[in-house]
Structure 1
Amino acid sequence: MSSNKPRAITWFKDFMGVGYRYHDVYMNVFPLFQDKMPAFKLWNKSVDWWPDDQIKLRFVEDGDHYWFILYGGSDYKKDNTGFVKKVPMSENYQRFKVGYEKKVMLRFGIYKENTNPKRKERDGSMKKFDLEILKKTKSVYDIAFLQLPELAKDSVEWQCITQQQEENSSQ
């Protein structure tokens, strides 16, 4: 074995889900977190150091769910954190899949319950949740939509999903 063997990826799964935004030049995709400070620190520790041309964004469809898998790694920081979450299929995901144009802007989003009674929807009703999208971005060019049964058994995606399923079944 050579010393160029890829480092194992540490999979981070403690985020709420995945959000999509369509109103920019390029579509945005963002893992959703509940708290701004931990999300900001995680971005600075890992994603901020990923070279844009090495970031991989995978959507592995599995029945009525899909696996969101994001990884890049940094040689400079020696950090190899990846992000994984199994989420239900949604209209937003389908719209994203059809409409993205070979490039996506990666950001982090903060999705939390609104506790300010003055924050209202346009119709005057109480706004239940607030979404804040952090300013830092990365450009992602390596985007793939895959089917679970078609994954190669030695692929990063297969190994990630298998590891997550094993961890979930042992809990």
Structure 2
Amino acid sequence: MSSKPSYWFKDFVGVGYRYHDVYMNVFPLFEDKIAAFRLWKKTIEWWPDDAIKLRFVEQDDSYWFILYGGSNYTGDNTGFVKKVPVSENYERFKVGYEKKAILRFGIYKENVKKKKDGSKFDLEVLKKSKSVYDIAFMKYDELAQDSIEWQCIQENK
């Protein structure tokens, strides 16, 4: 089931990348751990790995992160979309992802106490994961108007 999602979830703070595992990790970033965990259980947990689509649609100096899959089991067909600025981490992922990535959720929140290194934010990557094999990097200007990606961007501008 890789039909157009019936709902696009966009209430996450950004996209993170991690390179220290065998395969690179990509993770939507959330502020609330419990809400992220519940969202994973409701949606992505039921997606078959081979049905997950991860799209990066570049437009000027930013890109659209588009993630969808869907499940015949739960009937939930939520997709994820966010426009984020191009970063060094994104460029590094694009070059080195090796045709497979590990999808996880990350929690990125402000820490009330400043750490010794001066940073004010904590990052926690949740343990649940999915393997993604269908990854594509696209240009906005080259999208077909009947594509799921083009329609997603039009709905979420």
| Coarse TM-score class (shorter-chain normalised) | over 0.9
Report the Cα distance in structure 1 between the residues aligned to 2:119 and 2:57, rounded to whole angstroms: 33
Q: With the length of structure 1 as denominator, give the TM-score of the two structures.
A: 0.88
Report the Cα distance in structure 1 between the residues aligned to 2:40 and 2:85, rounded to whole angstroms: 24
Residue 158 of structure 1: aligned partner: 150
Report the Cα distance in structure 1 between the residues aligned to 2:138 and 2:108, rounded to whole angstroms: 27
Q: With the length of structure 2 as denominator, give the TM-score of the two structures.
A: 0.96
Q: 1:7 Cα deviation (Å)?
A: 6.0
3-state secondary structure, aligned to 1:48: helix
Residue 63 of structure 1: aligned partner: 60
Residue 100 of structure 2: aligned partner: 103
Query: How well do the aligned residues superpose, as a CA RMSD in angstroms?
Result: 1.6
Q: 1:115 Cα deviation (Å)?
A: 1.9
Give the 3 Å change call, closer, same or farther, for CA 7–155 of structure 1 in structure 2: closer
Report the Cα distance in structure 1 between the residues aligned to 2:125 and 2:5, rounded to whole angstroms: 29
**Greater length-normalized contact order (CA 8 Å, ≥ 6 residues apart):** 2
Unaligned runs of 5+ in 2: none
Counterpart among 54, 70, 79 of residue 82 in structure 1: 79
Give the 3 Å change call, closer, same or farther, for CA 27–145 of structure 1 in structure 2: same
3-state secondary structure, aligned to 2:153: helix
Q: 1:116 Cα deviation (Å)?
A: 3.9
Q: 1:157 Cα deviation (Å)?
A: 0.2
2:113–2:120 CA contact under 8 A, matched in 1:
no
Residues 9-56 of structure 1 show CA distances to partners (whole Å, capped at 9, x for unaligned) of 310000000000000000000000001000000000000000000000
| Runs of 4+ with deviation above 6 angstroms | none
1:48 paired to 2:40: no
2:102–2:131 CA contact under 8 A, matched in 1:
yes
Q: 1:110 Cα deviation (Å)?
A: 0.1
Count of aligned pairs: 157
Structure having the higher Rg: 1
